[in-house]
Amino acid sequence: MNLLRWFSSFFGKNKEEVIDPNMKYLIVGLGNMGAKYDNTRHNIGFDVIDTLASEYKLEYKHANLGDVAEFRFKGRVFVLLKPSTYMNLSGKAVRYWLQKKKIKQENLLVIVDDLNIDFGGIRLRGKGSDGGHNGLKNINELLGTKDYARLRIGIGDNFSKGGQVNFVLGKWSPQEQEQLVEVIDHCVEAVKAFGTIGLARTMSQFNKKA
């Protein structure tokens, strides 16, 4: 380490420049900005991010393409991102912040709702298709790959034919609301585990059926 870099590190300036890239993680919760989307099924990615931010008493910075906050845990830096692009253009924010923060793609985790999983189920995978989710579809397109981790949170498919949009953008039922805190807390711990014990062990410990 040269003298200038040592002084920067010692006095707390430019800390980001000297952080090992292997120890930096981008955690993206997908959702839609705006009060009308609060507490809807489609915004559960935002809810997980907000719970993490609350746990570490963080304030978001309103930045380019999203709200951003950071915390440190067990020597790792976790960058939390809520894209402000709306769900269908989430890839713009993900690509920008990966580059901005110089975070490796294998250290990206996207948190998303999933109709194909029963409510309460959690499925972490290291890669995969978009599964019909427009947010993941856009991320796949703009990153040019499907090889990044995603934490899928089951919201179920309890809707009649033609009712998918209203269901996804609808509020949680009272019964779901009662269980939601436990589901989100489970996901919060999975996020921290992803950055500390790795993808494989986190999958083994945190994936669960409803």
Q: What is the pLDDT of residues 17-56, one digit of tens each?
A: 467 888 999 999 999 999 999 999 999 999 999 999 999 9
pTM as predicted: 0.89
**103-135 residue pLDDT tens:** 999 999 999 999 999 999 999 999 999 988 999
The CATH topology of domain 22-206 is Rossmann fold (3.40.50)
Burial class (CB in 10 A: 0-12, 13-18, 19+), 179: middle
**50-101 residue pLDDT tens:** 999 999 999 999 999 999 999 999 999 999 999 999 999 999 999 999 999 9
Closest of 164, 178, 59 to residue 113, by C-alpha = 164
The ranges assigned to domains in the chain are: 22-206
Closest of 142, 55, 147 to residue 96, by C-alpha = 142
62 is catalytic: no
Which listed residue (42, 62, 133, 186) is catalytic? 42
Stated length of the chain: 210
How many angstroms separate the CA atoms of 81 and 97, rounded? 8
